[in-house]
Amino acid sequence: MESEIVNLVIDGKAVSVPAGSTILAAAEKAGIEIPNLCFMKELKPYGACGVCVVEVEKCPKLLRACATRVSEGMVVNTQGERALRARRLALELLMGDHDGDCQGPCKLNCPAHTDCQKYVKEIAEGRFADAVSTVMETFPIPASIGRVCPHPCEKACRRRLVEAPISIAQLKYFAADRVRADGNAHKVNVAASTGKKVGIIGGGPAGLTAAFKLAQWGHDVTVYDQMPEMGGMLRYGIPAYRLPKDVLKAEVDAIAALGVTFVNNFKIGRDAEFSKLRGWFDAVIVANGAWKSSGMRVKGEDMDGVWGGIDFLRAVAVGERPDIGERVAVVGGGNTAMDACRTAVRVGAKEVYVVYRRTRAEMPAEDIEIAEAEEEGVKFKFLFAPDEILGTNGKVTGMRLQVMKLGEPDERGRRRPVPVPGKFEEIALDSVIAAIGQRNDPEGFDDLPKTEKGTIAADEGNFATSLNGVFACGDTVNKGAGIAIGAIAQANEAALAVDAFLRGGEYRPVKPIVSERDVTERDFADRPKIARAAMPQRPAAERIRDFDEVNLGLSAEAAMAEAKRCLECGCHDYQDCKLVRYANLLKTDTKRLRGAFHTGFVETELVSIERNQRKCITCNQCVRVCEGIAKKGILGLVGRGFATVVKPEFRDSVAIAGCADCHLCVDNCPTGALRLLAKKA
């Protein structure tokens, strides 16, 4: 007679379960998770997914844990290499036919992985405070970053395949401005004090973000900065007509309100040696930015009247009015060059040129910045490079320009500028502003390891340096200066690493495995074309007379309408998706076995449910739930072999009504192929 209790061993752990139990049930009792996609306690074992296979001692084949009954003395290994390979293969086959986006391309292409899709949706629904809270899960200065970010999220936005990307950055700062104006500030929860002290050198976007995070987690944070006010390049490198300083100050003050201490006019090497400052804290983050302008390496650039781009912008930011004369040339093609030329107009220059060695098509500056500069009277000299700064008695009088042409593409795909032999042009000038790059200042940080470029060498993952307890992030490390949101991304990782270090552990970032769709314009051919929201602006003739903000901001109605253009690419069920969770657990290659897909379509025949066949992995869970639990039998498998798909069939009005109020299939779908539709008012 079979015993009522069966004793077995799973992963070295003794387990006793009732006779007739499955290996999956026994493992669950032992607190051991065996991945599975098609098992339900309420239904008979099905075993379709093949993900729950395990190894059993003295058994030559792998067994499906959901369908195999336990036996006395059984020894099960759920983590054997053979079982893991089989699970991984099963997941690769499933992911190879799973044509869905786990996360929107906007979020994936934001260096800090801000949940753009979520906050855009919240704005579309008029939930502006929620949208700000979503952004601040990632960083604390949405109104500032929304104004200055070159928005790589928008470059990846799928709406561009319809007519134009969503105005993601503008929506971000609209929500932040609106919430601040309403006095409805985001509530930040601060954990109990850990008793640990963190020093941060640099009060720019990286330092502010790290301080914000670490303060929330209960650490005592002090931020040091060499300038009179916090903000870094946001304060001293971005002109006020793009980022009003009261906007930035309000966001900095909100960080201070968390208990963060700000110490300004403090320079390492002058006010304290770095080694001494280290002794004041349990951990230190160096985020001192890149405050030195790169040189042009041409004859005459040491003359009076030659400025570095960020040096010029910083002088204006602190209230000076540099004597640049009436004729100015700005060398460079990035956003700093655009800031410099437009600032030169505002401080009185009558003729302002931008000299760039490629064509407009290759300029890294934002199109809108170039267009606005042109509106303000700036002239562009494309396919020219500085050859020599001309002058008299050590003062700039002009510049000799080398005529260029475009050659073969470089490593980034841009055609290389090549000099045209013997062709030059001279222009008369009073000043030259070199905006061709910037670099960090190593003064005072001799103890820190450096790269060949002179930047601080830090781990690419957690931004730890070779000095115990010292981390570095932002423009001062590794590859050097980049965009603000990139520095913020590094600061988030560094903050996590510091928090782990203070708690006696180590943080190592893991890039999540996600499914991504390959799409073309044809995939959105049925979408109506809706014009992108136009940002209202002050007219050029008016705005060049001062540094007041150029953009006037979107109205609530315009912002909500713009947000509603979002295609909602990322999956609504990503956080609860078993398929992607197991893919990450087993480090699955989502594209290795990608081939032909099932016929993809999205339909709403299930009345209150949207069914996305592209995401379906044919696990049959919905069919079995509808038949075995809901007792409706509305869903069924249609076709044979690879062409098999799930389809509904309504036989009468009673079945339709019952389906509308059931939703059990949605609750049990492991992939997000089914979505409950919002009830119409």
pLDDT in tens, 307-334: 999 999 999 999 999 999 999 999 999 9
What are the tens digits of pLDDT across the range 467-482?
Answer: 999 999 999 999 999 9
Confidence band of 642 (pLDDT split at 50, 70, 90)? confident
CA distance 317 to 179: 27
Q: Do residues 493 and 463 make contact, with C-beta atoms less than 8 angstroms apart?
A: yes
Cβ-Cβ contacts under 8 Å for 542 (sequence gap 6 or more): none
Least confident of 78-87, 182-191, 301-310: 182-191
Q: What are the residues whose beta carbons fall under 8 Å from the beta carbon of 553, sequence distance 6 or more?
A: 173, 174, 177, 535, 536
Q: Are 86 and 78 in contact (CB under 8 A)?
A: no
Phi and psi at 403, nearest 5°, equal: -75, 135
Question: pLDDT at residue 678 above 80?
Answer: no
Q: What percent of the chain has pLDDT over 70?
A: 99
Q: Which one-letter DSSP state was computed for residue 464?
A: B
Class of domain 5-96 as given by CATH = alpha beta
Q: Is the pLDDT of residue 428 over 80?
A: yes
What's the pLDDT score for residue 625? 92
Beta bridge partners of 64: 53
Pair of tokens at residue 558 = 């315009």
Q: Tokens 């905006």, residue?
A: 435
Q: CA dihedral in degrees (396, 400, 350, 238; nearest 10)?
A: -80
Q: What is the mean pLDDT of residues 245-264?
A: 97
Reduce the DSSP state of residue 643 to 3 states and report it: helix
Mean pLDDT for the stretch of residues 430-458? 94
pLDDT tens digits along 6-39: 999 999 999 999 999 999 999 999 999 999 998 8
- What integer pLDDT is reported at residue 18 of this predicted model? 95
Neighbours of 82 (CB within 10 A): 13
pLDDT of residue 414: 80
Alpha carbon distance 467, 471 (integer Å): 8
Distance, in Å, from the CA atom of 671 to the CA atom of 405, rounded to the nearest integer, reads 53
Q: What is the pLDDT of residues 258-286, one digit of tens each?
A: 999 999 999 999 999 999 999 999 999 99
Strands 609-612 and 602-603: antiparallel
Say yes or no to pLDDT of 539 above 60. yes
Residue 618's region, left for phi above 0, alpha for psi from -120 to 50, else beta, is left
- Kindly report, residue by residue over 59-88, the tens digit of the pLDDT: 999 999 999 999 999 999 999 999 999 999
User: Pick from 605, 616, 611, 610: which is nearest to 577 by CA?
Assistant: 616
Q: Across-strand partners of 75?
A: 9
- For residues 495, 500, 504, 510, the Cα torsion angle rounded to the nearest 10 degrees is -130
| 3-state helix/strand/coil string of 373-438 | HHHCCCEEEECEEEEEEEEECCEEEEEEEEEEEEEEECCCCCEEEEEEEEEEEEEECCEEEECCCE
Average pLDDT, the chain: 94
**For residue 414, how many other CB atoms are within 10 A of its CB?**
15
| CATH number for the domain whose boundaries are 598-676 | 3.30.70.20
CATH H-level superfamily of 105-187+531-563: Alpha-helical ferredoxin (1.10.1060.10)
Residue 599 has pLDDT above 70, yes or no: no
Contact indicator for 220, 191 with CB cutoff of 8 Å: no
CATH fold match for the domains 5-96 and 297-438: no
- For residue range 116-159, list pLDDT tens digits in order: 999 999 999 999 999 999 999 999 999 999 999 999 999 999 99
Name the β-bridge partners of 392.
395
| C-alpha closest to that of 206 among 256, 143, 145, 247 | 145
Q: Identify the band that residue 354 occupies on the pLDDT scale cut at 50, 70 and 90.
A: very high
Find all residues with CB under 8 Å of 161, minimum gap 6, and list them: 519, 520, 521, 523, 524
Q: What is the spatial distance between Cα 667 and Cα 412, in angstroms, rounded to a whole number?
A: 46
d(CA 652, CA 631): 15
DSSP 262: E
Alpha-carbon distance 218 to 215, whole Å?
Answer: 5
Provide the pLDDT for residue 1: 42
DSSP assignment of 478-527: TT----HHHHHHHHHHHHHHHHHHHTT------PPP-------GGGGTTS
| Residue 290 · residue 440 · CB < 8 Å | yes
Per mean pLDDT, which range of 184-198, 219-233, 530-544, 553-567 is the poorest? Answer: 184-198
Domain boundary assignment for the chain: 5-96, 105-187+531-563, 197-291+440-502, 297-438, 598-676
Q: Which CATH number fits domain 297-438: 3.30.230.10, 3.40.605.10, 3.50.50.60, 3.20.20.80?
A: 3.50.50.60
pLDDT at 679 over 70: no
- What is residue 652's predicted lDDT score, i.e. its pLDDT? 72
User: Which distant-in-sequence residues (6+ apart) come within 8 Å of 65 by Cβ?
Assistant: 22, 23, 24, 27, 34, 36, 52, 53, 54, 76, 78
Backbone torsions φ then ψ of 668, nearest 5 degrees: -110, 0
CATH 2.40.128.20 fits 197-291+440-502, yes or no: no
CA atoms in the 13 A half-sphere facing the CB of 678: 4
Q: What is the structure's pLDDT at 639?
A: 82
| Widest pairwise Cα distance in the chain | 110
- What is the per-residue burial (b if ≥16 Cβ within 10 Å, else e) of 215-252? bbbbbbbbbbbbbebbbbbbbbbbbbbbbbbebbebbb
